[in-house]
């Protein structure tokens, strides 16, 4: 694997975000959504706690909605306008291209996430929060965003149509979140054996994200997100190889 190639592809992709209004629109909507839900849904002030739990707890839902909007164009746009033929006949391997594009989208999400720093300043101004917990919250959120992006990138390679890529990614992402949600698990717990329920909930982003965002860094949670990302990116490379010329 040639690291230089990954870096150049990532750089090109990332500068592409900022060449169009897409990046700015996304960042503004992301900040509005996180801000709104932190204060109005999460009752940041009423809780009277010096932490960012209301902020982080809405991230899975915001990501389900917004991450597919970033990932949808990763491959379907290349396939639609034919530039995939150019990219795939340059001396780069498929996996280098997959990784470069994914890292660009991930870095972009990271930038959007970090732009929430006024909230961190606010909570430090109002009280004395445990900044370690806040740090793991950001780390967990970033890892989870990577998981959603890897799903979306792979699905984006299956179609030339960005709208289809968006809808499919949203549905698959939703499944990965809902499988850890109380109501869904209750539905299963009435009849399914306990090990199956554990298996379903352990597949959920929610279960693993909750632990990290509460300040508990368990290697298993980190490994979970890392392997979700790797599996989906591997599938992404296979799909690109199979469908690039269609």
Partner 1 sequence: MTLRIEIEDLAKHFGEIKAVDGVSFSVNKGEVLGFLGPNGAGKSTTMKMITGFLAPTRGTVRVCGHDVLTDPIAVKASLGYLPEGAPAYADMTPDGFLRFIADIRGLSGADKKRAVASAAERAQIKTVMFQPIETLSKGYKRRVGLAQAILHNPPVLILDEPTDGLDPNQKHEVRTLINEMALDKAIIISTHILEEVNAMCTRNVVIANGLIQFDGTPNQLEAMSDYHNAVCVSVANIDGDTLASFLNNLNFIVRVEPLSLERGFRVYPADGRQITVELSQAIRTNGWQIDSLYAENGRLDEVFRTITTGTTGSLRSSI
Q: Write out the residues near partner 1 by the rule CB under 8 A.
A: 4-5, 8-9, 11-12, 15-16, 19-20, 81-83, 85-86, 88-93, 244-245
Q: What CA–CA distance (Å, rounded) separates 230 from 238? A: 12
Instruction: Give the span between the Cα atoms of 63 and 144, in whole angstroms.
Output: 9
Write down the least CB distance from residue 157 to partner 1, Å. Answer: 15
Which residues are CB-neighbours of 104 under 8 A, at least 6 positions away? 9, 10, 11, 12, 13, 14, 16, 17
Minimum gap (Å) between residue 107 Cβ and partner 1: 17
Nearest distance from C-beta of residue 179 to partner 1, angstroms: 37
Q: Please, which residue, 84 or 170, has the CB nearer to partner 1?
A: 84
| Residue 84 vs residues 154, 157, 160: alpha-carbon distances, Å | 15, 11, 11
Nearer CB in complex with partner 1: 83/122: 83
Give CA separation, 139 vs 63, 110, 144, in Å: 15, 10, 9
CB nearer partner 1, residue 89 or residue 190? 89
Shortest reach from residue 19's CB to partner 1, in Å = 5
Nearer to partner 1, 90 or 126 (CB): 90
């Amino acid at each position: 694997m040639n690291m230089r190639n990954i870096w150049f592809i990532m750089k090109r992709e990332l500068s592409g975000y900022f060449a169009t209004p897409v990046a700015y629109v996304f960042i503004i909507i992301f900040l509005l959504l996180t801000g709104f839900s932190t204060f109005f849904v999460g009752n940041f002030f009423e809780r009277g706690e010096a932490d960012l739990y209301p902020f982080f707890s809405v991230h899975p839902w915001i990501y389900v909605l917004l991450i597919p909007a970033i990932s949808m164009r990763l491959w379907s746009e290349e396939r639609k306008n034919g530039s995939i033929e150019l990219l795939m006949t340059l001396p780069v391997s498929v996996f280098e291209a997959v990784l470069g594009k994914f890292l660009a989208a991930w870095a972009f999400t990271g930038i959007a996430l970090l732009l929430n720093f006024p909230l961190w300043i606010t909570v430090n101004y109002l009280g004395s929060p445990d900044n370690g917990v806040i740090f793991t919250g950001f780390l967990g959120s970033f890892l989870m965003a990577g998981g959603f992006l890897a799903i979306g990138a792979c699905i984006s390679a299956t179609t030339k149509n960005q709208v289809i890529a968006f809808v499919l990614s949203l549905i698959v992402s939703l499944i990965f979140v809902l499988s850890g949600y109380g109501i869904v698990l209750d539905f299963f717990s009435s009849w399914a054996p306990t090990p199956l329920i554990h298996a379903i909930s352990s597949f959920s982003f929610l279960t693993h994200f909750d632990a990290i965002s509460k300040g508990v860094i368990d290697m298993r949670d980190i490994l979970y997100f890392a392997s979700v990302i790797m599996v989906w990116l591997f599938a992404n490379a296979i799909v690109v190889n199979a469908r690039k010329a269609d």
